[in-house]
């Protein structure tokens, strides 16, 4: 059997599925299951600049991805308001204009990876 090769969006879906499974298990121990995912369109993104400017602004638990011209941030323990602050901070630091709010909060905006990712890309 050949190993499956994942595209970037499939990897994001797999990561979100894993994170949801993990936090649901930890919720039984009192862990807050809330997390947010945000998307900032950044078509001309320079990965070196992203590493130098954006990464220092995030917590060590946050994860930042550059997928198909978009910055995607996974923010454990952050609700929609917290994600909005991170979004504004990242956009300002990178000089990216913001138009629509591409933020999804688990479990408010979706309880599975597919729904959350669909919400990120809804226009």
Is 105 within 8 Å of 115 (Cβ atoms)? no
pLDDT of amino acid 32: 87
Residue 100 DSSP symbol: S
pTM of the complete model beyond 0.85: yes
pLDDT of amino acid 4: 56
CATH code for the domain defined by 8-120: 3.30.70.270
pLDDT category at 3 given cuts 50, 70, 90 is low
CA separation for the pair 23, 21 (Å, rounded): 6
CA separation for the pair 4, 90 (Å, rounded): 33
pLDDT of amino acid 103: 96
Q: What is the pLDDT of residues 38-80, one digit of tens each?
A: 999 998 888 888 989 999 999 999 999 988 889 999 999 999 9
């Amino acid at each position: 059997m050949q190993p499956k090769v994942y595209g970037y969006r499939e990897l994001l879906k797999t990561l979100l599925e894993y994170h949801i499974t993990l936090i649901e298990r930890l919720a039984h121990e009192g862990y807050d299951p809330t997390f947010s995912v945000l998307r900032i369109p950044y078509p001309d993104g320079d990965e070196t600049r992203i590493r130098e400017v954006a990464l220092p602004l995030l917590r060590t638990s946050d994860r930042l991805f550059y997928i198909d011209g978009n910055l995607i941030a996974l923010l454990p323990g952050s609700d929609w308001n917290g994600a909005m602050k991170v979004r504004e901070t990242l956009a300002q630091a990178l000089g990216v204009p913001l138009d629509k709010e591409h933020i999804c909060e688990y479990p408010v905006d979706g309880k599975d990876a597919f729904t959350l990712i669909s919400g990120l890309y809804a226009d």
